[in-house]
Structure formats: C-alpha cells, structure tokens
Amino acid sequence: MVFSWLPGRARTSFHHSQKTVILPTRTGAKHSLAELCESATPPCHLNPLLFNGHLQTAWTIVKAYDIPIYYKRKVFESDDPNFAGTFAVDFAVSKYDDCDNSLPPRTTYFTEEDFEQIGSLDSKPMLVCLHGLSGGSHELYLRHVLAPLLAEVSGWEACVVNSRGCAQSKITSGILYNARATWDVRQVVRWLKAKFPNRPLFGVGFSLGANILTNYCGEEGESCLLKGAVVCSNPWNLEAASLALQRTWFGLEVYSKAMGSSMKRLLEEHADQIISSTRIDLDKIRKITYLHEFDREVQCPSWGYPTEGAYYRDASSCDALLNIRVPFFAINAEDDPIAVKEAIPFQEIQQNPFIVLCTTSLGGHLSWMELGGGRWFAKPVTNFLKTLAEDIDLEALSNSFRDIHLNSYNPPKGLCFEPVRRKMHRVDPTI
C-alpha cells in the first residue's frame, strides 16, 4: 500500500488509450505499452521537505553534488537551406584530461581526425537528448538520465543536440531556435542512422526539448527513425502555459521573469550576429522583463508570427502527438508551476495508442527531488529505455504497427485533420 498522504509520497496516475500498442519481446511474449510504462515506474517517494511544486522547482538550482559526464563536440552545418547556419552536438565519451575552457565543463571539441573515425557497425543503443530552455548538455537534470545508461554493461551511447546559441555554441546566421525547431534534431538522427546503421536510436527531451521532441516524432510519423522516446515536463500547450504564468504574481514575477532574463542573456551573447541577420530591435528587447515579451519581440519577427499567441499555437506539441507512431512515454508533475496541468492534452493522449502519460501529484518542473539529491524521474525514464532496448524485439517492432490507427478518428468524407498541419482542410479542393 502506498501512503500517498505522507509528505513526499506522490500519487502516480497513468493516462492512455483503452488499448495501447502491443510490443513483441525477444522471448516471444507480448506486453502492451501501458504495461511496460507502469512496470518501469517505481513508487514516487520524494524529499518530504519539498512538499509542493514551487519548493521542488526552486531546489533544482541547489547543486548538492555533481554527476560527471564528459563530452566531445562537433559543430554541424545545417543541410537545409531554409534553416541555414551551424549547431553543436555534444557526444558522451570516456573521461579525458584536456577540456576546453571556452565550452561548458568537461567538454572539448573533436579533432578532425577523431571525428572521421566515429562511424561504427556496433549495435549499441544510442540516446539523442534535447535539453530545456536556454540549457545544454551540461544540465544536471539531463546528466541524471545519462549517467546510469552510460554505466550500463550493455554500453549505451548518447549525444545532446544543443539548441543554437546554447551551451556556449555560436550562432552563425539569423536562424535562432524556437519551440518548434525540429530541423537540427532531424538532421542529427538521419546522420546517426547513416553512421551507425545497426544502432537502435531513442530520444529523450526535457521541458522545451520535450516539446520539440514531441513535435519531431509527430512530424516524422510512420517514418520516424527513433525506436522510442520519453519526454519530461513537456509544456504541451504553450499558449495555455504562458497564460497560466501570467495569471499569478509568482508565475509572472518569478518563473516568467527568470526565463525571460535567461533568454535575454543568451541573446546578448550573440547580439552582433543576430542584429545583422534579423529584424529585431535589440534596444527594445533590453527593456523587456518576461518570457512572453521576449517571444513577442524576438520569435515573432524572426519567424514571421504576427503575435506570440500565434507562435505558441503553432509550436505547441499537443496536436502533433496524435501523429506519433513509436512507443512514447511522457512524465509530468501535476503541481508543475511552468508546464502546468491545464496544458496537458489528456484527451489527445487517450486517442493515440502509441502514447502513455504518467502524472505525479508532486514533482515540480524537471525536479522530482528525492532525499539525497537524486531525481525520481530518471528511474522511469531509464527503466523504460532499457526495457525497449533489451527486452523488446526491435526488428519486429515497426512491422507490427503498420495497421494501427487512432481509436476513434473518423473525419467526414472530404475533410482531413493533419495533426502537424494544425488545421482542418479539404482533401480535394473541388469538393
């Protein structure tokens, strides 16, 4: 029995379609995605002193201990002329001594000779990570997930796709990153599949990176090269989340202000390049305070959105999830003050048999802090990924999904709702 009324004992709830996809195992047995996610999720016992979402979230800035992950960085040139510029990918590697002081801790660049030898025919599982707003590969929440996987005897590999300008990477064009910036991760996944053709690829995203990863999986649909994905603290509906932040003093003056400040600092680091390539007014941006103001003055003119609301609606992942066709596990805390509960698309999740959502009654934003400094979410994330990689027959996985459709999605003749297009439209314009 779980005593959920005790301080720190969070209630866990699972949300999914009536029948989730069946996953074939290597032994010949079959398990539903819902069964896999529930078995991967241990009881949620958190620090009893951090008894609400605000305290949980605030504690994430206290770095009680470190988790050393070493990286080597490769700067990629975008292969899509619509999103010209460069972006940095950090690959997890064995410990070394000579780090680069111009990069985050325990990070250096690949030499050209080393990178030329990076390809392999091994079948190690590989994780592609997407960090949160203005973060990077150095973030502690990300390393909580990487550390146990990299320590596995089976030998996981991992890389982190840094959003443009983040983690001390350079912006080389007017193309910034936004909540729908799926182009760089798409290029990396394709590159990985070519360089490591035998490796099963998986994805994990945190906060804004969770929204991007969800959009990516939805945009790829049946063509997705990932074998599975996990997202933590996804804001899902960006407009609902933004309005929720603006509705309370704490949301506006603490969270929105802090995120707005972090984005302003990031912009200042790349001011010269951005000013020369975009239509934004840097002096005006320096006077703003909150995140939605930053999005209004930067994202809108950069991408052509008329308002921040239009940007939020277009970049939200709550519709794109309907088109996901790989095993997908989402974890949100109901008391998250940033990725708020009212923004979670419960009905859409119940329509897609490829998705399972676990909500916890306590946890905050990317927190779930345990006694001793651990983060609970790392356990269900790594358990889920390890089970997919080790127990599920990945060869048969894709073939078994071909004839699966949304549970009750049956639009009128002549009409079609495409989740990643965001608008109902006529299939045949002559009808």
Backbone angles phi, psi at 60, to 5 degrees: -65, -20
Q: Is 264 left (phi over 0), alpha (psi -120 to 50) or beta?
A: alpha
Q: How far apart are alpha carbons 369 and 140 in whole angstroms?
A: 12
Q: Is 221 left (phi over 0), alpha (psi -120 to 50) or beta?
A: left
Q: How far apart are alpha carbons 385 and 274 in whole angstroms?
A: 38
Backbone angles phi, psi at 73, to 5 degrees: -105, 140
336 is catalytic: yes
Which residue of the set 138, 169, 336, 367 is catalytic?
336
Of the chain, the end-to-end C-alpha distance in Å amounts to: 59
Q: How far apart are alpha carbons 43 and 13 in whole angstroms?
A: 11
User: What six digits make up the tokens of 352?
Assistant: 């897609």
**How far is residue 26 CA from its own chain's centroid?**
28
The residue type at 390: E
Q: How far apart are alpha carbons 63 and 146 in whole angstroms?
A: 17
Which residue of the set 138, 144, 292, 365 is catalytic?
365
The SS3 assignment for 29 reads: coil
207 is catalytic: yes
Exposure string for 384-399, b = 16+ CB within 10 A, e = fewer: bbbbbbebbbbeebee
272 is catalytic: no
The residue type at 299: Q
Closest C-alpha to 46, from 340, 373, 380, 330:
373
The SS3 assignment for 399 reads: helix
The SS3 assignment for 228 reads: strand
Which residue of the set 17, 207, 316, 317 is catalytic?
207
CB 340 within 8 A of CB 367: no
Q: How far apart are alpha carbons 300 and 280 in whole angstroms?
A: 9
By annotation, the residues acting in catalysis are 207, 336, 365
